[in-house]
Amino acid sequence: MQHPEFEQERSHLAYVKHYMANVLEESARDVETAQDNIRKSMADLEYLDSSSSYLNILTNARFFDMARNQKEGLEAIMQKPYFARIHFQKEGEAAEKLYIGKTSLFDKETQEPVVVDWRSPVANVYYDGRLGDVTYDVNGEEMNGHLFSKRQYKIEHGKLLEVRDIDLTTNDELLQDALAGKADVRLTEIVSTIQAEQNEIIRAHLKQPIIVQGAAGSGKTTIALHRISYFLYTMGEHFNASQLMILAPNNLFIDYIADVLPELGVGKIRQSTFADYVRDATGLKLKLEDPNHYLEQLVALNKRKVDLNIPRLKGSLEYRDMMQQYVDELAKEMAVLFEDVYIDKYRILRASHLQELFLEDYAYLPIEERVKKMKSVIQSHVRQKKKQILYTLNKKYDDIIGKALNIFDAERRKKEVTRWIDERDRRIPSIEKETKTTASSYMKRFSKHNVKKLYRAFLTEDAVQQMVAPHWTKAQRKKFQLAHTKEKWTNEDLAALFFLHAKIKGIKEEHKIRVVFIDEVQDYSLFQLAALKEGLDTDMFTMVGDLAQGIHSYRSLTDWGPVRDLFPRASYKTLQKSYRTTIEIMAVANKILSKMDEDLPLVEPVVRHGLEPQFHAQKAFDAAQIGELFTDIQSRHQSVALICKTTDEAQRFSEELQAAGIHAQLLDEGAAIDQQALLVVPSHLSKGLEFDAVMIVCDDKGFRDTPLERKLLYVATTRAMHELHLIGKSMTDFLL
């Protein structure tokens, strides 16, 4: 049944599109004008005053950027200028109907909003506001008003398809439509379907850290990306995109989220893995072992025990304290090198004072920055004392020469006066020359450090370990050294290397990120988080994760308590609703979740039904059977994944599928996803991704009832949006 105001709304859409078309024309002209002005200013550089011409170029370049950004922004939303409307009356003002979209558009003559940006304070009324009296925040000030109605629009390719009025008693049909849709090879924005609990996190206090425990499918990643967009919209005057960074679990995931931020109008923020960022920020050339080295060993080996004590130690705050002790001992060794500073025979600085400055007053600085600071201090004292010394010496020589002039004996008088004049003329220029190099010469005793060599010394040298970790026994030191006989670098070493670099050399300004967003934070160690916090000198972190998906818990987080202790200013939020999976699929996932040691609450699926998960008996991997199932699923869905327990299994299965003529693609970190292929992916790499349908296959070994494999299985089951197929010898292979 068509909405009674459908035609009225269609006319309004036509008006908005027409207005946008006019603005676009104007913006295009502005872009051309700015380009012409820049070209003219460049041509005039040789003939006009250069400073004036450069100023013209700069001004026009800024105008060009503004015009181009407006043009690109309008082009991006032309076919869907808005998705919702509120009928709202702010206290003390007339009621108005505000249309909400991805970006703001104002009438140039009246300055009335044609479209309101979803990130604006008043738009919060749409996401959070109940019908009736509402409040919302504007720059810390509470505003009151009355919300008469909320309306949603389904607009595709510039055409209005549907109008819906919503309130608290009706299902959000726009959300249901989105959930019923197909998975994409790239993550997409959700501005039209943001839910109240998601909106609360997106708009949470921007000047303090936040930790989010989010169930699988709760939209953690998407929320983090929308929070970035909201952050820049709100705080853009104080921060630019280059000062923000999102840390993703792998490069495949970075490719997966690549389209979201441009869709949200966000510029080029840094997107990186932790490993890549550490290498960039430190400049260290490190060939890392497979970051899933220990994980694969744990999954693949049933009998042989894997020693996790060392990776667990390297992820701990105890290890952080060892590295801090290492830095402190290094500083003490350097402090001993400070001696009294002299100009000529005059002492201008005591060694004790310099040592105090180095070890205490400037302890907040990285060691090599402290050295630079000490040089500045010495230079400053030299400049000050030089004048005093020269004044004193000149007066001394004037007095001595004056006395010599009073000698009665002419020959002796001449000899004494000449001697003192010669000494003065030799000594004073010598002092002047000496003062020019005093600081530089003095500081030559302090050489720069090689962070990699320092850390390597800690890993292998008994004396260093005794100094930094005196509580270790001889046997513990020996075991640690034997594990590091070969120079190899693992993910677990990165925190220590970054920490040492930050404390010794400091992080360069181009890498000094001010705001950090971390996805899958449960796979970070406490030391990694502490190293980032201390090295960047900020606690403005947005950290989203799920302990139930903590597949690296042998070295990382099993509890949010220590993270909250590390970030005492942080707020803590939970998301228990899953928007990805159907009720039927989540029922299976919840059975696995209930077996976990973390004692997490069961996930609440949004009310959306689908097919019951299906079990397919298979004694050994049968590529032909898999191919038939793939063809059947393709008749209903687009994105299909075959998830395997290990990387080895994924490699082997993909080869068998391809040999059988099935279009299969093995996903790795560098892969560009082929939507038409059967995507073969190891369980650990599937984390964060979603597919229309998922097949989980077990070969001769099913998932074992261990903390790690329960999590891997949970990750795999929660990747499915619409269909889940379990393929193995029996249901016990899937802990069911």
pLDDT tens string 449-484: 999 999 999 999 999 999 999 999 999 999 999 999
- Closest C-alpha among 168, 171, 86, 169 to residue 125: 86
Mean pLDDT of 270-282: 95
pLDDT at 41: 54
Region 520-542 average pLDDT: 96
Residue 306 reports pLDDT greater than 70:
no
Is the distance from CB of 662 to CB of 608 less than 8 angstroms?
A: no
Q: How confident is the model at residue 48 (pLDDT cuts 50, 70, 90)?
A: very low
For residue 671, how many other CB atoms are within 10 A of its CB?
Answer: 15
Judged against a pLDDT cut of 60, whether residue 627 lies above it is answered with yes
Sorted by sequence, the CB contacts under 8 Å of residue 319 that are 6+ apart come out as: 313, 495, 496, 527
Predicted local distance difference test score (pLDDT) of residue 63: 45
DSSP state of 702: -
Would you state the pLDDT for residue 426?
87
Average pLDDT on 595-613 reads 87
Over residues 534-562, mean pLDDT = 91
More confident residue, 293 or 561: 561
Q: How far is CA 375 from the centre of its chain?
A: 36
What are 91's two structure tokens?
A: 């206290």
CA atoms of 67 and 56, how far apart (whole Å):
16
**DSSP H stretches of helix in 505-639:** 526-536, 561-566, 583-593, 623-634
Q: What is the pLDDT of residue 551?
A: 87
Please give the pLDDT value at position 307.
75
CB 522 within 8 A of CB 247: no
**Contact by Cβ (8 Å): 465, 454:** no
Q: Which residues contact 160 (CB under 8 A, 6 or more apart)?
A: 6, 9, 10, 13, 153, 154
Query: 112-121, 317-326, 328-337, 522-531: lowest mean pLDDT where?
Result: 112-121
Whole-prediction pTM = 0.86
Cα 549 from Cα 519, distance rounded (Å):
12
Higher pLDDT, 258 or 626: 626
d(CA 650, CA 507): 39
pLDDT at 112: 87
**Per-residue pLDDT for 303 more than 60?**
no
Give residue 297's pLDDT band: very low, low, confident or very high (50, 70, 90): confident
Which element (helix H / strand E) includes 73? helix 50-77
Residue 669 DSSP code = T
Angle at 441 between CA 439 and CA 443, to 5 degrees: 65
Check residue 57 and give its pLDDT: 43
Gap between the Cα atoms of 85 and 100, Å rounded: 6
pLDDT bucket at 714, cuts 50 / 70 / 90: very high
How far apart are alpha carbons 550 and 707 in whole angstroms? Answer: 10
How confident is the model over 496-516, as a mean pLDDT? 96
Q: With bands split at pLDDT 50, 70 and 90, how would you rate the model's confidence at 434? A: confident
